[in-house]
Amino acid sequence: MSDGMVETQPTVFADLSADDVEQRPMEIESLCMQCHENGITRLMCTRIPYYRQVIIVSFSCEHCGHRNNELQSGEAAQEHGTEIVLTAKLPEDLNRQIVKSEYAQLEIPELELVIPHKSQTGEITTVEGVLTRVKSGLLQNQELRRIQNPEGAEKIDRFIEKMDACLELKTPFTLKLTDPSGNCYIQSPDPLHVDPRCITSHYCRRLADRKLLGFADDDEVEDENEAPEWRSYEDAKHEVLRFKTDCPSCGAPCETLMKPTDIPYFQTVIIMSTSCDVCGNKSNEVKSGGSIKEYGCKTTVTIKEVSNHHI
């Protein structure tokens, strides 16, 4: 290779873009499980903005017409499970993109609707797409069901009416997405600001979750006395951290205490205190808990009253 030429490695997970003409799916000839003829599997590895890497899989068979679409995570299982709760009130909430793996469970309490773990393959859809898919499945063979089982068909009709009310936002509803693998996502209309209608939280996996992911044996029994240790950011802020250090004055071993705290109308700071029992040296220090701001800050105080001395 000549001087000045740099060899570029192809990117496996590229950003999804309609303007990139070179971003095409990989085509693999594979066996159709319906007619046992050869079909085509298309793979595309891409990145979803503000989320992670995913693998989109699509299979089609020209012999029998069988088609199958699936979404697989391109990431390992996360450290904790993820729970996302969305309150759908506005039309833009129906257009939110949803990424769910095969391990995700989806619930809509207002409809008493539950889609269990591993009952569907992973997919990229929208909030409206979730409801529409359920509605389409219920409408299949509904006319035949009205003849063979009128009572069951009537219950389905009433359920579809409730679902239509949610789709038209006549009834606000809650969509809850629980994924033990941690690889689920609901799009925010404004990713740079806090989403007021969507709450994301994380939890420690139970034994059933670990079995679902293949992290535990099927015959393993959960210890009821062993509770997972879960500590939030608020818990960490109330804890005083201690670590060993050497006294800067006499060099003897001593202990430094450190605690983050929030100053009202300012930001988070870290208070550090060192005390030596040998020489009695004490030192206190306050460090900023945030990043360096883009601009410097200059504060001028004019002292006019006695109360100003306490500023």
Kindly report the average pLDDT of the chain as a whole number: 82
Q: Which CATH class is domain 233-288?
A: mainly beta
Under CATH, what is the fold of the domain 14-73?
A: N-terminal domain of TfIIb (2.20.25)
Do 266 and 297 form a contact (C-beta atoms < 8 A)? no
Q: Which pLDDT does position 155 carry in this prediction?
A: 92
Q: Which pLDDT does position 234 carry in this prediction?
A: 60
Q: Which pLDDT does position 6 carry in this prediction?
A: 40
CA distance 91 to 87: 12
Strand partners, 47: 15, 53
Do 86 and 175 form a contact (C-beta atoms < 8 A)? yes
Q: Determine the average pLDDT of the residues in 172-196.
A: 87
| 270 pLDDT above the threshold of 90 | no
| 106 pLDDT above the threshold of 90 | yes
Q: Determine the average pLDDT of the residues in 273-291.
A: 85
User: Which CATH number is 81-213 given?
Assistant: 2.60.120.1040
| 7 pLDDT above the threshold of 50 | no
Q: Determine the average pLDDT of the residues in 49-77.
A: 79
CA distance 112 to 71: 26
pLDDT-based confidence at 203, cuts 50/70/90? confident
Percent of the chain scored above 90 by pLDDT? 21
CA distance 287 to 271: 6
Please give the angle made by the CA atoms of 46, 48 and 49, to the nearest 5 degrees.
135
Q: Do domains 81-213 and 233-288 have the same CATH topology?
A: no
Q: Determine the average pLDDT of the residues in 283-288.
A: 86
Q: Where are the domains of the chain?
A: 14-73, 81-213, 233-288
CA distance 50 to 41: 27
CA distance 96 to 150: 36
pLDDT-based confidence at 205, cuts 50/70/90? confident
Lowest mean pLDDT among 227-231, 251-255, 284-288: 227-231
Which of the listed ranges 12-16, 75-79, 210-214 does the model predict with the highest average pLDDT? 210-214
Do 174 and 88 form a contact (C-beta atoms < 8 A)? yes
Q: Which pLDDT does position 51 carry in this prediction?
A: 65
Q: Which pLDDT does position 194 carry in this prediction?
A: 80
Q: Determine the average pLDDT of the residues in 241-246.
A: 83
Q: Which pLDDT does position 166 carry in this prediction?
A: 92
pLDDT-based confidence at 1, cuts 50/70/90? very low
